[in-house]
Amino acid sequence: MLTDQEFIRYQRQVSLPGFGEQGQKNLKNAQVLLIGCGGLGSAAAMYLASAGIGRLVIVDDDAVESSNLQRQVIYRDNDIGKDKAQAMAKQIERLNSDCRVRAIKHRFEETQLSLEVGVADIVLDCTDNFMSRHLINKVCFFSKTPLVSGAAIGWQGQFIVFNFDSHSACYHCLYPADEFKESMRCSDMGIIGPVVGTIGNLQALATIQKIVLGEFKCTTEALQLFDGSSMTWKNLSLNKVHGCRVCGEFDKEESFSATKQNLKR
């Protein structure tokens, strides 16, 4: 049962059709693993905490810099120089003291990541590099833990959800690790803040839907591309790649061109 205080706090979403008190209790009992405390993580963490997520594990090995504040909106001037995970945890606790936050200030090795993913209801990939994304994808696939992935650079954002059933594709099907160079950095390409916030908010929304309703309402294994300069979206379907080294038997003859053909309008 929700306490009177909890009911008052969350009454706007509890009153939604299909949400109700049970939905709020689902959020209260859920544990979310959020990896990456930058712009995506800032937006996602604030909305998850505000919605009433019971336990939030946040991971980042970086420190807050002045240039982060333009888009990583959870931080303040006096956070500059502090560990991002720790600074984010303090802000979340101020936002909603009912949300229990555990901050991890180092980058995961596969063993520890597997342990954390194993106890999470859902994982949010808010990182900014391919190495981390591929490791998160691999661990989530083998543990069958739902993964909500976001990315943004320049005016462009992308969002994709993986539910990891027996026939689903994975992140490696989309971006084979040996076919793509390291992801571009905001310091090199620039970034507009609201694009990052848009994608981070979508990550939070998909997570809430999955926990409250028991299923994703967005199409899984479908890449959603957002162009902030024209305010337009494109949706591309992703098919499982035969020979994917994560979700299928590895085939050395699988080519990059064949992978690209799996993305269809």
Residues assigned a catalytic role = 186
What DSSP line would sit under 91-138, residue for residue? Answer: HHHHH-TTSEEEEE-SPPPHHHHHHHHHT-SEEEE--SSHHHHHHHHH
What's the token pair of residue 77? 């001037």
In angstroms, the CA 4 to CA 6 distance is: 5
Q: Which helix (H) or strand (E) holds 175?
A: none
Distance from C-alpha of 92 to C-alpha of 162, rounded to nearest angstrom: 26
- 3-state percent breakdown (helix, strand, coil) of the chain, nearest 5: 40, 20, 40
Find all residues with CB under 8 Å of 216, minimum gap 6, and list them.
146, 161, 163, 206, 209, 210
